[in-house]
Amino acid sequence: MCFAKSGAWAEKAQADAVVIVAAEHAGLVKGHALVSATPRLDFARALSFIESVAGYEWSQAEPVIHPTAVIGQNVVLGKGVVIGEGARILHNVVIQDEVVIGARSIIKSCAVVGEDGFGFERDVDGKALRLPHLGRVIIEEDVEIGSLTTVCRGTLGDTWIRRGAKIDDHVHIAHNVEVGEDAFVIACAEISGGVRIGGQAWVAPNASVLNQLKIGEKAVVGLGAVVVRNVEDKSIVAGNPAKHIRHVE
């Protein structure tokens, strides 16, 4: 089940999906369409109903910690957490249920990995309805996550930090983000939901990236840039709103 907020999203939905969609886009759905005036709100309602009636429970398994991993003081580990060979989890880190930490990765002090992302939809009275987050966070090998950084779990799919990525202190990684191999995300950057950051890309301090965008491979997002459209591979962008400056040589 999913929702489609536009015709383009309706066309992308898998053929076996049940899609909550506005009437004008129902004909574009390959599978089953449920017509709604407020697709995202009704999706949140449906997910909350399923969660309350059928129940959704994370694994009750105890954390699996490799014997060579190092765990600091006052670390909180949720159910089903997996920590790989040689990983280092420093003091006061919180790792919530079902998070996977790859070999040799480092999670620095006071980072929070795997909390719910910011997912709410207003009803007709303006009251906020929380969207359940049922995905995970997957951190591959040789990743670094800085102090006081937050990495949110996915809504339905997973948030994914690929091999060798380095994320600095005070960074926010929202739900369903993918950070590519060997990418750098520097201090105080904000990466909104569903963003894809390509391999070896560089996101400079205080940059903000609008949700669902793609930052290309080896692209550079400049200091304090506000990114509101996709960034091509090897493109350097800067400013508010961010504009293409030149290509990386």
CB 161 within 8 A of CB 175: no
CB 129 within 8 A of CB 123: yes
- Residue 216 CB contacts under 8 Å (≥ 6 apart), including other chains: 198, 201, 230, 231, 232, 233, 234, 235
Catalytic-labelled residue, pool 25, 133, 172, 175: 175
Cis peptide before 241 (omega within 30 of 0): yes
- Polymer length of the chain: 249
Residue located via tokens 């920590």: 83
CB 185 within 8 A of CB 167: yes
Neighbours of 19 (CB within 10 A): 26
- Residue 51 CB contacts under 8 Å (≥ 6 apart), including other chains: 132, 134
From the list 58, 211, 47, the residue with the least C-alpha distance to 132 is: 47
Whole-angstrom Cα distance, residue 155 to residue 133? 4
Task: Report the SS3 class of residue 9.
Answer: helix
Whole-angstrom Cα distance, residue 100 to residue 7? 35
Our answer to whether residue 175 is catalytic in this structure is yes
- Residues carrying an active site annotation: 175
